[in-house]
Amino acid sequence: MESDADQPVLAIDLGGTQIRTALVTPDRQVVARRAEPTRDDRGVDAVIDHIGRLATETREEAVSAGYAPAVGVGISSPGPLDPWRGIVVAPPNLVGWRDVPLREAIAGSLGLPTFLERDTNVAARAEWRYGAARDTRDLVYITVSTGIGGAAVIDGRPLTGPGGTAGEFGHLVVDLDGPRCGCGGIGHVEAIASGTGLARAGAELVRRGEAPILAARAPDPDLVEAVDVARAADDGDAACRELLERAWVAIGAMCASIVNALNPEVIVMGGGIAEHHPRLYEVARAELVRRALPILVDRVRIVPAALGPDVSLIGALPIVTERIGDPRYDGSHRPQTAAQGGASRP
Ligand SMILES: [Zn+2]
């Protein structure tokens, strides 16, 4: 592995609800933090200006507190995105964002080498270098929250794919006739076990009058949230308990498919839902044993993420230090598409 930087980096975490910035030191202190609502309803330019302003404030505060100057900027953003050209392509949870050259805009306003990466890849990098997957070469990172995201490192190399979108494990099929996913596909694990999927299934139970305790908490089906389903299950709602149990089984089935395909040493599981439901790990492990090849099951561990909510800030450190000076990320590289590959053949 590459050696760590001896200078701090500026970390930007662009999320659907919050923009966060901080300085991350080589020994992984996270300082001079800013966090403000994203408010994507203001339009793309306003959000970019806001990111630039918060990052500038972070930089100034860190300098006046005596920290060494940042050597570069790492941006974590929802995907899909193009990490080589630094373009945010069309994230479902940033309204109006389509082919936004975010890297260039932030590099211009801060005057530092700047790198853009998908949020799950940033988190996976952080858990790999400093967290729950330290000292492994083959790992899968899964986040279970509003959606289900993923990333993988195989044989010591992050799995990217030609467009930078490999590792979307939330869209693995776990039920041939299952519900339709937000992406349009059928039977994806995200449609069953994400916060959005649980809320949708809970709303359906309320509509059919099959979850009295949930209906007492959230009488309007349109306003049912995943947390209502979880609370109703805690309070003894049998249908909600079944929903949650089925969600954990679906996550176990997803893990089994991942293990069969990729043979990882460790699956690191993070995200709000995973954190709040320790039973998820237990059920997922049992389903893995039931559904994956025994020789692979014996070698893989499922472990909770170790770095908490700062994972997307801390991940800026390896992103920046590994990419500074790499010509693939200087803006000139174009990922090769299947069409280009075909056209270049004689
Ligand atoms: Zn999907």
If asked whether residues 183 and 227 sit together in one domain, one would say yes
330 CA → ligand 1 middle, Å: 32
Determine phi and psi for 207, rounding to 5 degrees. -60, -40
Which H, E and C letters describe 69-88, residue by residue? CCCCEEEEECCCEECCCCEE
38 CA → ligand 1 middle, Å: 24
Residue 42 covered by a domain: yes
**Of 197, 201, 235, 200, nearest in space to 216 by CA:** 235
CA dist., res. 221 & res. 312, Å (int): 33
If asked whether residues 282 and 143 sit together in one domain, one would say yes
If asked whether residues 137 and 16 sit together in one domain, one would say no
Residue 127 covered by a domain: no
If asked whether residues 273 and 290 sit together in one domain, one would say yes
Q: What is the DSSP letter of 219?
A: -
Residue 22 covered by a domain: yes
303 CA → ligand 1 middle, Å: 24
If asked whether residues 178 and 273 sit together in one domain, one would say yes
158 CA → ligand 1 middle, Å: 22
If asked whether residues 289 and 199 sit together in one domain, one would say yes
If asked whether residues 105 and 154 sit together in one domain, one would say no
Domain range for 162:
132-306
Tally of domains within the chain:
2
Determine phi and psi for 43, rounding to 5 degrees. 100, 160
168 CA → ligand 1 middle, Å: 9
b/e 240-262 (16+ beta carbons within 10 angstroms → b): bbebbebbbbbbbbbbbbbbeeb
CA dist., res. 77 & res. 123, Å (int): 11
104 CA → ligand 1 middle, Å: 30
CA dist., res. 29 & res. 19, Å (int): 19
Residue 13 covered by a domain: yes
189 CA → ligand 1 middle, Å: 7
CATH number at residue 22: 3.30.420.40
If asked whether residues 67 and 209 sit together in one domain, one would say no
If asked whether residues 66 and 215 sit together in one domain, one would say no
152 CA → ligand 1 middle, Å: 18
Q: Under the phi-then-psi rule, with left for phi > 0, alpha for psi from -120 to 50, and beta for the rest, what region is 32?
A: left
If asked whether residues 17 and 64 sit together in one domain, one would say yes
Instruction: Give the type of residue at 284.
Output: A
| Predicted confidence pLDDT, tens digits, the chain (346 residues) | 444 458 999 999 999 899 999 999 999 999 999 999 999 999 999 999 999 999 999 999 999 999 999 999 999 999 999 999 999 999 888 999 999 999 999 999 999 999 999 999 999 999 999 999 999 999 999 999 999 999 999 999 999 998 888 999 999 999 999 999 998 999 999 999 999 999 999 999 999 999 999 999 999 999 999 999 999 999 999 999 999 999 999 999 999 999 999 999 999 999 999 999 999 999 999 999 999 999 999 999 999 999 999 999 999 999 999 999 899 887 655 554 444 433 333 3
Residue 126 covered by a domain: no
79 CA → ligand 1 middle, Å: 14
147 CA → ligand 1 middle, Å: 9
If asked whether residues 269 and 164 sit together in one domain, one would say yes
Burial of 266 (0-12, 13-18, 19+ CB in 10 A): buried
Whether pTM > 0.85 for this model: the answer is yes
Residue 195 covered by a domain: yes
Residue 343 covered by a domain: no
Instruction: Give the type of residue at 201.
Output: A
86 CA → ligand 1 middle, Å: 24
CA dist., res. 66 & res. 60, Å (int): 10
54 CA → ligand 1 middle, Å: 33
254 CA → ligand 1 middle, Å: 13
Residue 98 covered by a domain: yes
Determine phi and psi for 40, rounding to 5 degrees. -65, -10
Number of residues assigned to the chain: 346
92 CA → ligand 1 middle, Å: 12
If asked whether residues 74 and 171 sit together in one domain, one would say no
236 CA → ligand 1 middle, Å: 30
